[in-house]
Structures are given as structure tokens and as C-alpha cells.
Structure 1
Amino acid sequence: MVRLDKKATRLYVLDTNVLIHDPTALYHFDEHDVVIPMTVLEELDKHKNGIREIARTARQISRTLSDLTNQVTFDEIQKGIPIPRISGESGRLHFLCYNDLKPFDSLDDSPDNRILAETCRLRDERPDASVILITKDINLRVKAAALKVPVEDYLNDRAFSDSDAMIEGAQVYASAGQDGASLWEALNVEVTVERIGHHTFYQLSGNMPRHWHVGMLVSDSENGAEFEAIVREISPSSARLQLLTNYRHHAGVWGVHAHDSRQNFTLNLLMDPEIDLVTIAGNAGTGKTFMTLAAAFQQTLDAKRFERIVFTRAPIPMGEDIGFLPGTEEE
């Protein structure tokens, strides 16, 4: 394993298969610079024609690179094109082109070997930086390791890595106290308590936290919370919160009781007549389907709020479907 200098500038060289695997990959390296060799551009050009998924992906990458290089001068390209980023320092995009490049004598003249040779050349020219090759190709990673080139797999493709982009659905204030008294004091806001029927509302006035949003859970604990409320209305200077129903012990939904604050929040959302759509994200075994069905039975069979329940599930085949003709529909 090649050790990296943590303080040195990092240059990530992307293999073709990384961009094919994730067309937005060059945006996922934070403040570090990204390098695309000319060999990769040539490989993308070979794949862009056709109607298969790989062709559509190659065309998408080409459009992205075209947008980044549009109205950019040659000097700016030489220095590196800034990669847009929502917050923080942005990295730069570089293109790697060596006219006199020769693959290693012991290796064939193949795209993988040319990319490896380009990476080695860049490593030798930039001793001040940590040059790292990113590839999904296992054999190329083995070759790079044999030549003492830092190499990594591309792992920034979690199922909705977009979970990082999803807004936080809950905020825990450990010192909120009974009825949120300590929280109101800490936020330095004025509070008016209003009770309408079986519901309790808190009208807040003052500077509201910027990360609060409508539909957010505000509680004092992840487990046996004494204070749990949902944000109903929010503005920079005011907010309206509603105290949640406690479905933990005596009250339940079709015999189902919550075990923690988030399950109780979920049951409140599912039972709320003012909310038409609820999407739930969580690990397997946390009760998402179980609570959803319990709320559906409660409101359909007991409360008669709905006439029927429609339950759908995406079919996940064990392998490719067997057809009458060989090949896929596109082929």
C-alpha cells in the first residue's frame, strides 16, 4: 500500500469506467483537483454513439464537460477549470495530454496501460502533490499497486448518496425540558401556548433557527422524549409547533406502539389527516412497512377515512429475465 502525504495537494485521476459508472463523479471530490486524461476522452468518444445506456451516459458526460469548458480561455484551462460546489473551497478540473507518451515497454499499448502511464508521468512531474488513480477496474488497480501508484476504488455511489442532500427530518435538543421550557429560553424566543381540542400548539416569536423547516421533528431525546413537536409553520421571525400524540404506551395505532422518538414521529405523520404523502427512509428492520400498514388499517377499517388500501412493491429479479429471443430489447 502506498502511503499518502495528508498535507499535500491531491490530484485524482479518473478512469473511464468511473465516469461511466457515475457521470457526476467529478463533483464528488470536494476541494481536491480532478484530472481527466486524453485517453479517457477518446474512450468516451467511442462509446457515445448508439441507444444503449453506456452511450447515453457517455453523451451526458460530454455535455457536462462542454458546459464546464464553455467560454473558458486556453490559459484558464491550463490553470484548471473551477468545479462548481455548493459550499466550501472548490477544486479544479485538469486535462492530461502528453504528446510524447510511451506506454511501459513490458505492457501492451491499451487504453488502461496508457492511463496508467499518464498517471505515472503526472506523479513524476508533480512531486509536491499526491497523485491518486481512481478506477473500478480491479486489474488496473493491481497494475497500479505493482508500480507503486496510489490507487483507489470509486465508492461514492451509495444508494441515494443523495441522503447527504436530503434535509434532516429531526432535531434533538437534550436540554429542552418539560414542555420545551428550557429550549425556548435557550433560543431566546417568546412563547404562547394554545390548546385547540386535544391538540397543543406553541406560537414562537423571535429569531428562528435557520435549519428548521415545515414538517420537522423537534424533541428532547431519541428515546423516551418528554417533549416532541412538529413544526407546522416557519418564518425567520416566527414559528408554530404542534405537540405530538404519544403512541408509545396506552395509545397505539391498530395495536402498534412506538419504541422511540422517530417511530412516534412517523406514526404521527401517517395518522395526520392534513398530510397527503409521507416518504420514509431508514435501515431495514426499523418498522417502516409495519407502521405504514398499521396506520392504513386504522384509517381504513376503523376510522373509515379511506375506502381501500393499495399496496405495491417493486419486483427485484434474482437475475436477468428469460425472454423468447436472446439479448436485450435494445440489442
Structure 2
Amino acid sequence: MFVLDTNVLIHDPGATLNFEEHDVIIPMTVLEELDKLKTGKQAVAADCRQAIRTIDRVLGDATPKAIESGVPIHRGEKSDALGTLSILMTADPGNRHHLPDDLNDNRIINSLADLQARYRNRQIILVSKDINMRLKARGFGVEAEDYQNDQLVDDIDMLPVGYVEYAGSFWDSIEKVETIQREGITEHIIPRIDGLEKLNINEFVLDEQGFIARVVEVEEERLVLMDLHQNDLLNQQVWGLTPRDIYQAMALHLLLDPDVHLVNLTGSAGSGKTILALAAAIEMTVASKMFKRIIATRSTQGLDEDIGFLPGTEAEKMEPWLGAIVDNLEALHEDDENMHSSVDYILSKVPMQFKSLNYIRGRSFQHSLIIIDESQNLTPHQIKTIITRAGNGSKVVCLGNLAQIDTPYLGALSSGLTYMTERFKGFRHGAHLHLKGVPRSLLAEYAEAHL
């Protein structure tokens, strides 16, 4: 029996369907919490409503007695029922082995204790995203675990970084190569030998001799590499910005490629994620007219709660939360005679819109470049919500640092950024790159390494 906490249903509104042949139990306290949170425009309210609708769809017109004993879960019109879903009433106050009943968490744990007493031969597990809730449950004698259905990797170091680096020469390990030149492009067809079997589409190969190439075709036994010139990459200028290292150069190459519709940039604070995305966005919107507008969005705990109380229009409300965008605009124009006038001019001329996650649902953005800042704070469900808003001719750029997660129920392994990185690694029109170094300043670099 798996007993679900409220935060699991908010994290994944369809979680009740993901426990296969096992019995799923929703405590009455969880339904009450969902009921309190379901109203409003916050992103969490929409997730609560979706979770409630999923539970209602499974229970259907079952009788109260059937709901108490467990309703079979059908996951499709033609699928056989696997497992059951039931509602667990609140704990019996006459049972002395109880935690104080003043907190909802305690009520849920008390209900589990009653359930254990009733079904002594069954394994009963609390599923919660709240670490402290799991600790309390285990301390009380109830088995507890994290919700891991959308955790695709066991270790964050298993995530792809977007490139493979070779000491010396890359070609020393290659015995056979076929080189083709066409329309100014040089491509190398090589066998998929050891060390290259984990390379994905749109990842890079580079060595200490200055060779750099991008994987443009992945087959079972061979790879096709597009030869890139390191000097050209390092000397490219985008809205006055020149990359400081080869990793930034690779990122700009992906950002400017019209065939790459999703670019996912990760890296430590100050590695250049935001300024690279912003420079490329302005270049492709103002200069090349590839996109009609820039949509910048971000989700934080405080944003969902406070945006309604901040004064002004939606754009004015979003400004405190998207200050990084304005900071980087200033950095792009710091050498201008009047930096503030340049930034004001750009903001007036560039069709840039700051959007709250709350107002993105249900919309479709055509010919837009969508920048998702601080994407490590989004759940997999929220990431899907934003990316599915991208309409015809649009591009999505996700920026994040998995070491700086501010959401209490998310970790590096359960973050939507991790989920998306793993899910999209084989997508022909998607690319992921982890930026190295902290070029922000010598002070920032030292602090990142030593504090």
C-alpha cells in the first residue's frame, strides 16, 4: 500500500496512476489540503485541480463502501485494471500511539499508524517529497520514501554535459574515417567505438590540438561529425558579445542555429548562461528577424505567492524576479557612452515580454524565443507546461544551475531541469551544454571553488 502526501500530487498530478499493480491510498487530510490550494491563479492551484480531476476520474461513480475498500485503477479504455485507489479516513482519536493532532502532517502519519494496525501483513509506505515528513514518519515507525517515478538518473554526474574532451589528439583513437565536403561544410563519418557510444545528437567532440566537431548524425555503428573551426567559434560576435572560452562559443553556436529548437544551458553562477542567451535572443530578434519577440519567464516559490500583491502591470510585477535579464542587458552595453539610455532604448525597441508562469498556461507563442530562467526550480510537470506553449517557429532556451534549487520539495535528481535534460538527449532538434568556469570575476571564481 502506497499512501501519497499532498506534495506528491502537486509535483505530479497524475501520480495516482504510476504505482502499477500496487494499492494507492489518499488520506482525507490530503484531499482537504488540495481543496484549500485549488483556488487562485498560482501554478500550484492548477496542479491541485488536475490532481483532483484524476482522482475523480478513477473513482467514477463508485459507492462509499467501494472507495473505502479500493476502486480498481484503469489507465486506458482497453487496459486491464492494475492496483486500486482508496480514500483513508482520519485517524482514530482513541488510539494512544499518536502524534499531536494539531498538524496535517501528523494527522496523515496517525492515519498510517491506524492502517498498519489494521493490515499487519501488508507493507505500508508513505510517499512524500518532504524530507522532514519522511523523517517524522520513520521515527514514528512508518516506512517512507521519496516519489521517484520521474527521477531518470540515480546520480547527477550521470547527466550528459554536451561534449567529450580528449587529451592530445582526438584522431589518435580513430582508425577509420571518411571525410565529405559539401557546400562549405566538412563532415567526418567515423565508427562508434568505445568512448563514443554515449555521444548524443548535437553534442561536441574537442581535443587539446584545437579540433572541435558537432555530432549531426547518430547511428547504431557510426557517427557523423560536422567539423567546426575553433578560431571562428571563439571570434564570433553576437550583439557585441564575444565568448570568453570554447564552452561559451559552443553554447552560442547552438543558440544561433535555427535547426535547434530547444537549448538547455546549465552551469555554476557566473558561467555566462543568461548573458549568452540574451545576446543571442536580441541578435535573432532585432538583427536577423528570425523571431518576432522574446518571452522571458521564471518561477520561484515567492513569485507564485506574491505576484498578485505587487503593484503595477504584469511586466512591472515581473521586473524584480527577472532582474538578471536587466543586469545582463546592462553588461552588454556597459561600454556605451550612456549605458542606461542604451538599455532603455533596447527595452523600447526589442519586443521583450516578461511573463509569469501563472499566465502562460493555455497560451501558444508563435515565432517567439522563450527564455526560461532558473529552470532548476521547476517540476517536470511545470517544464512540460512551458515547453508545450512553444508554437510554430519558436525556440526555447532553458537556463539553470542544479546546485541552486530554492524549492523545498525539489532536489537535483527530481528537478524538471534534470528530467528534461535526460528526456531530450536524443532529440534531433534539441541540445544540452554544461558551461565551465566562472568568468564573472576572479572573486566569484574563488568563492565558487572555496566557499
TM-score range, shorter chain: 0.5 to 0.7
| Distance (Å, rounded) in 2 between the aligned partners of 1:256 and 1:143 | 52
Question: Which amino acid is the alignment partner of residue 52 of structure 2?
Answer: S
Residue aligning to 1:147: 140
Superposed, 1:64-143 pairs within 5 Å as 64-65=54-55, 95=86, 97=88, 101-102=92-93, 104-105=95-96, 107-108=100-101, 114-124=107-117, 125-126=119-120, 129=123, 131-132=125-126, 134=128, 136=130
Question: Which amino acid is the alignment partner of residue 164 of structure 2?
Answer: V
Residue aligning to 2:25: 36
Gaps of 5+ in 2: 77-81, 313-451
| Distance (Å, rounded) in 1 between the aligned partners of 2:21 and 2:150 | 18
- Shift, 1:290, TM fit: 3.1
- Shift, 1:172, TM fit: 2.2
| Distance (Å, rounded) in 2 between the aligned partners of 1:292 and 1:137 | 35
- Shift, 1:238, TM fit: 6.0
Superposed, 1:1-331 pairs within 5 Å as 12-20=2-10, 22-25=12-15, 35-40=24-29, 42-43=31-32, 46=35, 56-65=46-55, 95=86, 97=88, 101-102=92-93, 104-105=95-96, 107-108=100-101, 114-124=107-117, 125-126=119-120, 129=123, 131-132=125-126, 134=128, 136=130, 144=137, 147-150=140-143, 168=160, 170-172=162-164, 174=166, 177-179=169-171, 182-183=173-174, 185=175, 191-196=177-182, 199-204=185-190, 214=201, 216-220=202-206, 224=208, 226-235=210-219, 239-247=223-231, 251-253=235-237, 256-260=242-246, 262-272=247-257, 275=259, 277=261, 279-283=263-267, 284-292=269-277, 305=288, 313-314=296-297, 319-320=306-307, 321-322=309-310
Gaps of 5+ in 1: 1-10, 85-90, 325-331
1:283-317: CA deviation from partner (whole Å, max 9, x where unpaired): 3322123334555788899xx75699976644888
SS in 2 for 1:23: coil
| Distance (Å, rounded) in 2 between the aligned partners of 1:137 and 1:69 | 29
User: For the Cα contact (< 8 Å) 1:32–1:92, is it kept in 2?
Assistant: yes
- Shift, 1:39, TM fit: 1.8
| Distance (Å, rounded) in 1 between the aligned partners of 2:219 and 2:48 | 44
| Distance (Å, rounded) in 1 between the aligned partners of 2:270 and 2:292 | 22
| Distance (Å, rounded) in 1 between the aligned partners of 2:149 and 2:192 | 40
Identity %: 23
Mark the structure with the bigger radius of gyration: 1
SS in 1 for 2:180: strand
- Shift, 1:265, TM fit: 1.8
User: For the Cα contact (< 8 Å) 1:48–1:58, is it kept in 2?
Assistant: yes
User: For the Cα contact (< 8 Å) 2:3–2:27, is it kept in 1?
Assistant: no
User: For the Cα contact (< 8 Å) 2:8–2:128, is it kept in 1?
Assistant: yes
| Distance (Å, rounded) in 2 between the aligned partners of 1:256 and 1:268 | 12
Q: Which has the higher contact order (CA 8 A, sep 6+)?
A: 2
- Shift, 1:36, TM fit: 1.9
TM-score, normalising length from structure 1?
0.55
Question: Which amino acid is the alignment partner of residue 95 of structure 1?
Answer: S
